Amino acid sequence: MLDFAIFAVTFLLALVGAVLYLYPAFRQAAGIPGITPTEEKDGNLPDIVNSGSLHEFLVNLHERYGPVVSFWFGRRLVVSLGTVDVLKQHINPNKTLDPFETMLKSLLRYQSGGGNVSENHMRKKLCENGVTNSLKSNFALLLKPSEELLDKWLSYPETQHVPLSQHMLGFAMKSVTQMVMGSTFENDQEVIRFQKNHGTVWSEIGKGFLDGSLDKNTTLKKQYEDALVQLESVLRNIIKERKGRNFSQHIFIDSLVQGNLNDQQILEDSMIFSLASCIITAKLCTWAICFLTTSEEVQKKLYEEINQVFGNGPVTPEKIEQLRPSSFMPLVWYFRILILGHLHTSLIQIGLMMN
């Protein structure tokens, strides 16, 4: 009888311990201030939805708990870094996993990636080389949408409103699609089609997965799935076309094709890069120009430096390297702040993910 009682008490204590450990309300980030999950499966996703956006949720969270806070994104514990100084302390130049990439792949329900350190390092180098080589190869093409947009703005009366966000998104779409996927996107209709599908996928990634509306609304879900299929179909066709052939124009996908990646990895990496870089480029350009218009001192310094370096000659990569950072350092810091700010508001800000 005594043995049975000891067994029953031991079992009961183990059961209570398991409940305390597994039930979300009792899960805490060790040593990191923050909130417990409100739901076992969704974590703090309902709190994010109720706050109106991830940005508002994080602002409120940091106001309550300080510069380093924790919350639950589904079943995953996330640590948010809320100041530039704290972020600098935790930047690891040797890290091979990008939390934004991890988050996007999870939301897109992609399965590849997450290999060993050597594989992740190789893929990171492929992507870095892809960006560098495609920028060099497509520099002249990237100038074209810039010049077209400048001519458009110069044709406006001084009093006319400029829809800056819309124009910068169009500029980003034209530039990024050609750099990633090549000459197919010199055709404006292809860019418009891509932008439409991109917008559908991106909006549902940002909202539909968070509040569950995507699974509840069959129409929205079909629109999202159709748009994703169309984007993937375009990428698959380009990957197939570029394999085993040499082109005078080097694009981002070429670097992935030339690496030791399978077709699914190439598809997923090019999809993530296309989705994210269009939005980040558009937001960065929008806010950089917006801040530039508010500082006459920075405008003057930039104007003087550009006149000195470029004169009446063309814009070239070599000339860009001659620009002195000190002459437009305020704008450089604007860029840095903008990048960090955009990371904060679009999930890139999530600095550490803990299993």
Could you please report the per-residue DSSP string of 38-82? Answer: SBTTTBTHHHHHHHSSHHHHHHHHHHHH-SEEEEEETTEEEEEE-
Map out the domains of the chain as residue ranges. Answer: 22-91, 117-352
Nearest-10 Cα torsion for 39, 40, 41, 42: 30
Supply the mean pLDDT for the chain.
Answer: 76
Name the pairing type of β-strands 68-73 and 76-81: antiparallel
Task: Report the alpha-carbon distance of residue 337 to residue 271 in Å, rounded.
Answer: 26
CA pair distance 314, 195, nearest whole angstrom: 30
* Of 279 and 10, the one with more pLDDT: 279
pLDDT for 298 beyond 50: yes
Res. 161: pLDDT tops 80: yes
pLDDT value of position 61: 93
Please name the helix (run of DSSP H) or strand (run of DSSP E) that holds residue 330, with its range, or none.
helix 329-345
Residue 17 has pLDDT above 50, yes or no: no
pLDDT for res 7? 38
pLDDT at residue number 115:
59
Binned at pLDDT 50, 70 and 90, residue 352 comes out as very low
Of 4-8, 216-220, 239-243, 327-331, give the lowest mean pLDDT range. 4-8
Residue pLDDT, tens place only, 45-62: 888 888 887 788 889 999
pLDDT at residue 4 in the model: 38
Tens of pLDDT, residues 63-87:
999 999 999 877 778 888 888 788 7
Q: What is the pLDDT of residues 18-48, one digit of tens each?
A: 444 444 444 555 578 999 888 887 888 888 8
- H-helix or E-strand containing 121? helix 117-137
Cα gap 341→350, rounded to integer Å: 12
Where residue 111 falls among pLDDT bands split at 50, 70, 90? Answer: low
Residue 207 is predicted with a pLDDT of 65
Banded model confidence at residue 210, pLDDT cuts 50, 70, 90: low
N-to-C CA span, the chain? 43
**In contact, 74 and 322? CB cutoff 8 Å:** no
pLDDT in tens, 263-272: 888 998 898 8
Mean pLDDT of 325-331: 48
Provide the CATH number for the domain formed by 117-352 in this structure.
1.10.630.10
- For residue 44, the model assigns a pLDDT of 87
pTM for the whole thing?
0.67
Average pLDDT rounded to a whole number, residues 237-254: 88
Percent of the chain at pLDDT > 70 equals 74
| Res. 337 pLDDT band, cuts 50 70 90 | very low
Distance of CA 168 to the CA centre of its chain: 16
Q: Looking at the predicted structure, is the pLDDT value of residue 273 above 60?
A: yes
The phi, psi pair for 69, rounded to 5°, reads: -135, 165
